[in-house]
Each structure stands twice: as C-alpha cells, then as structure tokens.
Amino acid sequence: MTSLGARYTALVVLITGLAACGDSASPPAPSPVAAEATLRNLDIQGPGQIAPGTEAQFVVTARFSDGSSRDVTSQAVLSVSNHECLECAPDDVLTVRVDGTVRALTAGEAWLRAQYNGQEMSKEILAIPDGTYKVSGLVTDVESGGMGVNGAQIDVGSEAGKLTAMTSSFGAYRVYGVRGATTVLVTRHDYQPLRQSLAVDAHRSLDLQVRPVLRRAGEVHTLTIRAARDCPPAGTDGALPDVARQRRYTAMLATAVDNRVFARLTGAQFATIPAAYGNMGGDGFVGYTQENGFLFWMKGYYVDFDAYAYPDVVEQISDALFFTFWGSTSITGGSRATGYLDGVIALFDKDMRPGANGNWQALPPIASCQSQRHEFTLTH
C-alpha cells in the first residue's frame, strides 16, 4: 500500500507539473501604467472691456494633454503689463488681485498676464466707459511720404464729452470714451491745423494727414543725377546701361518753418505707391536746409525682417525698366547747388510695388552701382 500510495502521489505531481507547463500563454498581462497628463496651454476667460471704476472676475484655466482642464487662477502668477509692451511696466490702467479680480482704474488699454507651471498667456483688456468707443490711428506728414508726426495734440469733442491725447514718437494716438457726432482737431505749432468730423457708433480707426507750415513753396529747380566715374563701364556684367547713367528732373522745393525741405519731382513718369499703401515713395524726398545748400537723405529699396521699404524715388523709364537712387548728399552753391550722392543708383526690370494681392516682392536689381561720388546737382 505504501508503495502504491507513493506512486499515486508522484503521478499527481507529474500531471500537475505538465499542466502548468502547457499553460504558458495564460498568465494575465500586466496592467498598463497611465501616462501622466502634461500641461498644454493656458486660457484666460473674462470680459474684453471694463468700465473705469468697476471690477470683473477673470479665470485662468489650464488645459492638459489628456483633454482635461482645471481652474488654476489661485495658483497662477497674475500681473498687468503696459498696452504697448508685455515686458514693460504697468501703465496704471488696471490692477489685478490674486483671486483674478481685475479693477479698471482709468480709461485705456492694458494686458492681463497669467503664468503657471512654465506656461503663460496674456489677454488685452480695454478700460472704457459703458456705451462709448475708442478712436485711434496715425497722424502723418503728407509732404514726407507718410512720416509719423510726434507730439501733435488731438482734441476730440463728442456727445460723451471732450478728450485730449498726444501722438507718440511714430504718430500714433488713442482716445477712449467717444460717442455719436464727433469732431477731431489735430494741432502742432509747425503744422497746419486739421479738423475732421465723423459719427462714432463703434470702435473706429482714423488716420490723419497734416501739412507742415511752409516758409517758402513752389521753388523750381532742375535735378541732375549722374553716375560716378568709378562705376563699371556700360556693357560689363551688372553695370548700369547708358539710359541709367544720367537722369534729369524738375524739382519743386518747399521749405518748412523747421527748415525741412520737401522735394517733389516732375518731368518724368514716376511709380508711386497707391493711396491704399499710404501714398509713400516714388516721386520725392526730404532733407534740411544748411548754410548755402541742402542736406538730403533718400530712402532705398530694402528688406528688413520681411518689411519691404519702397524707394523715395522710382522713375518708370519703360514698361520693363525702373530707375532709382538712394543714399545721402550734402550740396552747396546757391542757385547751382552741387555735391555728391553717397549711395546707390540701380535699375530694375520689374515693378517693385505691391502686386494685386497686396504682397511685396523682394527683387534684385539688374544693374547697380554703389559709390560715394555720384554727381547730384540742383539748379535754381
């Protein structure tokens, strides 16, 4: 019996072992470890406008990679930045508390900024009385190809009252709290006053062009541009052809009370910028009077961070030839002021102005010459 029992026990152990070996695919797979959700971005919810003297609640929401979101207003770092620059000091238009309550102190604009866990978000907020609107724009000099007028006073009268603002260094202005029939008056001591009326029932953009007060106007000169003798001779690769080596125009000079000189060219066909682009460039340039002569700077054609500058002067010689020059010159000599242009004379075979889609094109010249001794003569 003992021997039979031992055999039976061994047989059971053997069968159990074989069954275990044959079931190798059956152990359950380990449970997957869920990936930790990461912060994707922040969102600031709240009104875009607040009346001065009132408060509004803003909420900062963190959105995560798994689709979830969470209110993190109390954990976020909240601050207010200047309207012109997120990194600049606050301009005292808004204040914000740690719970996301924003108070508007005075009319204006500012940024509410939230920072949380390496992410940040900003929201622009307009502080303006209820039922009124913002009027903003640029004040530019009509004689200088769209140059901004710094320090001009903007007086605005509307059904909501009177407001005053000053233009920035590049001619920008903003007034807050305008409604209904409105009059805008632009003044600066060396510019002719400009008054414009409009109806304001929404936020409005209003660009204004002012004319300088002139000491002398309508002086007729002949301008002659002649390529320098050190330019490569015509016929060599990239050299100016004969047609681009000398050009002559009629120049109408006007002198402002601040001694600026505006030269407007006629006597040829010029490729000027359409009004939609500010009427800038093409047939004139700006300088200053100096003792017994003039100092001029002519803007050229260049690309700066995808911003294309149109030359001050572009003569359209033919359908496929565009002549231009740029640089600086100091000329002296009374009724015949002569000197040298330190800069470039160039010829293009395509129109440099924006195309039908409004986009600028970066175009290389087909011929050019850079020199400090291009001849530049104004004969009265």
198 DSSP β-pair partners: 182
Reference 368, options 259, 244, 257; nearest CA is: 244
| DSSP summary character for residue 65 | T
Vertex 162 angle, CA 159 and 168, to 5°: 125
The mean pLDDT values, 10 residues at a time, for the chain of 380 residues are 45 42 55 72 95 97 94 95 72 92 94 94 95 95 83 97 94 96 97 97 95 91 96 90 96 93 94 65 90 90 65 92 95 92 94 71 88 95
d(CA 139, CA 342): 31
Size of the chain in residues: 380
| 127/149 Cα distance (integer angstroms) | 26
Q: Residue 21 has what pLDDT?
A: 46
pLDDT of residue 228: 96
**Residue 33 buriedness (CB in 10 A; 0-12 / 13-18 / 19+):** exposed
Q: Which residues contact 293 (CB under 8 A, 6 or more apart)?
A: 330, 331, 332, 333, 337, 339
pLDDT, position 380: 87
Q: Residue 376: which residues within 8 A CB-CB, separation 6 or more? A: 223, 224, 225, 329, 331, 338, 339, 340, 341
pLDDT at 14: 41
Residue 142, pLDDT score:
85
Model pLDDT, residue 4: 43
Q: Note the pLDDT of residue 218.
A: 84
Q: Are 77 and 34 in contact (CB under 8 A)?
A: no
pLDDT recorded at residue 281: 75
